[in-house]
Chain A
Amino acid sequence: MTVDRPADDSSDDRRTDGGSDHQADATDDHRTDGGNVGAAATDTEPLDGDTESAGRIRVRGTLVEPGTAGGWCPDIDTRMATLETPLSSLLTSELDITPGTNALADADRITLVPDAHYPYHPSSGVVTDPAVVGATVAILERRIDGEVVVAGRSDDTISFERTAEYLGYESLLERFDADPVDLASEGHTDTRVTVGDDTVSTLVPSRLTRSTVVTMPSLRPTETGRVAGGLRTLAAMLEDGTDETDASADSRALGAARAIDPALSVLDATTVYAGEPYAANTLFAGPAAAVDAVGTSLLERSFEADDVVRRAFDDDRPSITVTPVGVDPESFDLESLRAALPTGGLPPADDTPAPVTAAYRLYAAVSGDVVPPQLEGGE
């Protein structure tokens, strides 16, 4: 992966070459990256020398002015004000292209899909900062006439209504002509997509197949250690348990991406979580799979071991160029960012770490003491 150094005008040549100019055909086996994937690459092998015409994928990155002392500004208005300029830089190419050629500029309906899977505090980096979403909505509403919604999905753990309320989306979106939408309560389209050797059949929220989708993940790992990313964020929007083709979760994620064909992914790396939070004050935008690859690289996860990201490029290793944009592109340093980021995972799934639970149960067996329910460990 490379970082383009800005020329005289850093706004030049920023157009993503992802497949943003065609809508998903739910029955097609089309490539999310528009087939413009180039030479092999790994996280650790710089890809200098590729030319864009040879298949280089461009992702844009921008720095965000650091917040107040402590790395987090609690005032969402201040955060949104800080974010608008860098987000505008990221979205300029999506919004300024000649009418008729750009998915966002031409969109009648835009659906933003942030990582809002649970009401964790956004300063943790485990969810997308609502201020990033709010600033994006503000920019879109100024620049386009289409409808903008922010989508999430209720699941067995919590309703999206509660999550949206607790994270502040409800009050935030009241300022705009935008609504939070629970995809679980809307219609779905039975969709069949071929992903490699798998045929994935699933119910995709119809809104996501009929609108221009921008996925907005936070830079964090999943429970299994992979990058959460835009593709998996989209997969979380599917109707659960409807796949009759026994496809793997990874295939479903890829199927979702191909059926939905997101126009863009905006990666919120303002606060990154990887075992601990880190105020990285950075945003990325570009084709969803490429942005996920950038996230995989930044968190020092293996590209090869991540079925979703690797297979999104049809097992080719992509050539991805990160182009700095914004007010201070000279200061954008991907390697320094990667070095500064933590590389850990989420906390353990159990309330109590497994070694503690095991130790307590051993103790109880030896001593005859009772075991509190919190330490039963699935007893």
Chain B
Amino acid sequence: MSPPVLGRWTDSSGLSLGLLGVGNIGTVHLKSARAIDGVDVVAAADAVPENRARAERAGVDRTYDDYTTLLEDESLDAAVIAMPPFLHADAVERAAAAGVDVFVEKPLARSTDEADRLLEAAAEGGIAVGVDHTLRYQPDVRGVKQAYDEGRVGHVPYASMTRVNDGPLGRPPAADEPPDWALERDGAGGGSLLELGVHCFDVLEWLFGDLEVESAAVDATLEVPVEDAATVLMRAPETGTTVTLHCGSYQWEELPEVNTRVRLEGVTGTISNADHLPTNFYADAAKSALSNVASRVTGDDPDIFGPTFYYQAHYEALSAFCEAIQRDETPPVDGRDGRRTLELAETAYELAAASDRDGVERPEVRT
């Protein structure tokens, strides 16, 4: 596969950015983009009127109910694709036809086959593809990476990662209708492995190099069409580390608490992301407030989404993508990285199906 042909972006007035999808996560990207130096958010598209209205309140001048019209009518350098996974491939193809670089929400696609189609279109159109794998931008995960790379615990024979949240069904009291697509194979490509597991695969390969999936189990705690729990056993040959991953969409989540655990068991001790997490939301907010007020005086860059490290990670990921585009560089987390996470997920599905513990079928998405 050819790498994206870069070098097209030359306008020094600012990177003109469009948002294709401004639901919750799309709005996080919108607000992030408006805070990035050298980025101009020129338009947003969403089929839901309330989402368009929110984008307008957030400062977007032009909104569209159809992203294809936006791509036709606007002159963009880049676009954020924050629509459901079943729309990613078509959206990338249309962006490629328009010569617009893309930053795609995870999962990149519903399958590696679909990712290949998407990346081929991108290559033909000469556009760059970035993927919003944000965990590696979180301060706690960065702390783990730094400590590991500095050899703080010596050899790490075993590592574990857990990412659990409440998925599309949420927690009581019920508020909004859970989207159909998020619980359908045709819509999302799979369940918690594609919703959360791909983030974890990205982090684990970032830490340990190439992973080999050795076994997996998937489960559904309710009779939903996709798995809401998955456990994967892997081996990292480069570092000699055995890795277990558990991801699940079954646990009630109450922000600002998030359940992400990374533990590296080394010869001389343990590296845990818990040691690098902000300890108190309110104290962190106060600290960020003081920092931002000071930055007005000193001219330093202020914190964006300061007290909430997981939204801050989205900002950092988009900022890094935009910076790469502005420098004519390959995005730091690119389409190949996104496809690789899908490849690992598919291997896990195959191994889980082979053991067929509970009859949860492997997702099959026709593209």
Residues on A facing B (Cβ under 8 Å): 74, 117-121, 124, 126, 156-158, 162, 165-168, 170-171, 223, 346-349, 351-353, 356, 359-360, 362-363, 366-375
Contacts and interface: CB of A to CB of B under 8 A. Distances in A.
A117 B285 contact: no
Contacts of A367: 288-289, 291-293, 302-303, 306
Contact of A120 (B35, B172, B311): B172
Chain B interface size band reads 35 or more
A366 B293 contact: yes
Given A168-B223, A171-B223, A369 B304 contact: yes
Given A347-B172, A347-B254, A359-B281, A170 B31 contact: no
B221 A352 contact: no
Interface stretch (B88-96, B101-109, B116-124, B174-182): B174-182
Nearest to B294: A367
A359 B282 contact: yes
Contacts of A223: 173
Nearest to A157: B174
Contacts of B255: 351-353, 356, 374-375
A372 B173 contact: no
Nearest to B303: A369
A368 B302 contact: yes
Contact of B252 (A170, A347, A374): A347
A170 B223 CA distance: 9
A363 to B, nearest CB: 4
B176 A363 contact: no
A156 B302 CA distance: 41
A369 B174 contact: no
Interface of B: 24, 27-28, 31-32, 34-35, 54, 169-178, 183, 221-224, 250, 252, 254-256, 281-282, 285-286, 288-289, 291-293, 296, 302-308, 311
B292 A368 contact: yes
A373 B24 contact: yes
A157 B176 contact: yes
A366 to B, nearest CB: 5
Query: Lowest 6 A-B CB distances belong to which pairs?
Result: A367-B292, A363-B285, A118-B174, A367-B289, A373-B27, A352-B255
Contacts of B289: 363, 366-367, 369
A373 B54 contact: yes
Contacts of A119: 169, 222, 224
Contacts of B307: 359-360, 363
Contacts of B35: 370
The interface centre, meaning the residue of B183, B255, B288, B304 with most chain A CB atoms within 10 A of its CB, is: B255
A166 B177 CA distance: 14
A363 B303 CA distance: 11
Given A347-B173, A347-B252, A121 B281 contact: no
Contacts of B223: 165-168, 170-171
19 contacts: A74-B221, A120-B172, A126-B172, A158-B174, A158-B178, A166-B169, A170-B223, A347-B252, A349-B173, A352-B256, A363-B285, A363-B306, A367-B289, A367-B306, A369-B306, A373-B27, A373-B28, A374-B28, A374-B311
Contacts of A124: 172, 252
Contacts of B174: 117-118, 157-158
Contacts of B34: 370
